[in-house]
Amino acid sequence: MPGPIIPRSKARRGAPAKCRRDFALAPGLRREGTSAINDPTVNYSTAVPAPQAAPRWQRRADARPHELLDAALAVFVERGYAGARLDDVARRAGVAKATLYRYYDNKLELFKAVVRHSLVEGFDELARGAPGTPPGARERLVQLLTTFTERVAGSPLSGIPKLVIAEAGNLPEVARFYYDEVILRARALVIGTLADGAANGEFRAVDAEYAWRVIVAPLLFPILWKHSFQAFEPQPLDFRRHLQAQLDLLFDGLAVDRRNRGRQ
């Protein structure tokens, strides 16, 4: 004889707690109707979340430090150090401002990172003597001046030396950093090359402590001209012609036999 019929609602209430937990609705699902969770007539559908407004800042998944440095370089060149804001850097990089602080504590540290990435690494590469570095002192000096002209003077990086020169009086910590990290490296490279040239007979002996300044100074002129008076000239400054004129005068002055100096 069949047993008593138990109401469906009581069966649910009497089910063990573990079973009730096991049948809990998964996130993102909603139950339609009032049928029991184990009722075959129950219908489940995926809940579509309501659209949300896009956040003001959205970090790209592929954001990396070098992208932050590229954005910072552009902002520093456009606005100068004093006028640059971390908000502007973050906006240009397409990241939240908080992302900048994950890598750099403040604007000065960000500026230092830009200079080290853009300038210092290049000087260190030249100092190490990468494969293909010319053995002669003359050729190395040409390579050094040409590399600076192409990578710095003729590129957006030219805004960094101009920025430091323009704001050094008001920002001594920025000027000191640039002197220690960039200028002293350039000084060592030029003085070392002059010493090698004098030792192997390529150059005559000169006062290297002052000669390096005379050699580097013409490299800064086209940078300052580019960011100040260039707009008033009909033709842009030709950096290669400027460098060639400098090299002609430089090697004429460094020639060992000054009585028989010929154009190189």
pLDDT in tens, 140-187: 999 999 999 999 998 999 999 999 999 999 999 999 999 999 999 999
DSSP 157: G
Residue for token pair 């800042």: 57
33-47, 99-113, 210-224, 234-248 — which is least confidently predicted?
33-47
253 has a pLDDT exceeding 80 = yes
Using CA atoms, how far apart are residues 153 and 171, in angstroms rounded to an integer? 23
- What backbone phi and psi angles, to 5 degrees, belong to 260? -135, 55
Q: Which residues contact 168 (CB under 8 A, 6 or more apart)?
A: 174, 175, 178
Confidence (pTM) = 0.71
For 136, 203, 215, the CA distances from 200, given in Å and listed in that order, are 9, 8, 20
DSSP 56: S
Domain ranges of the chain: 57-104, 107-260
End-to-end CA distance of the chain: 119
* Superfamily of segment(s) 57-104: Homeodomain-like (1.10.10.60)
Using CA atoms, how far apart are residues 264 and 260, in angstroms rounded to an integer? 12
Using CA atoms, how far apart are residues 54 and 212, in angstroms rounded to an integer? 55
Assign domain 107-260 one CATH number from 3.30.230.10, 1.10.357.10, 1.10.10.10, 1.10.3720.10: 1.10.357.10
Using CA atoms, how far apart are residues 210 and 213, in angstroms rounded to an integer? 5
CA dihedral 235, 238, 241, 244 (to 10 degrees): 150
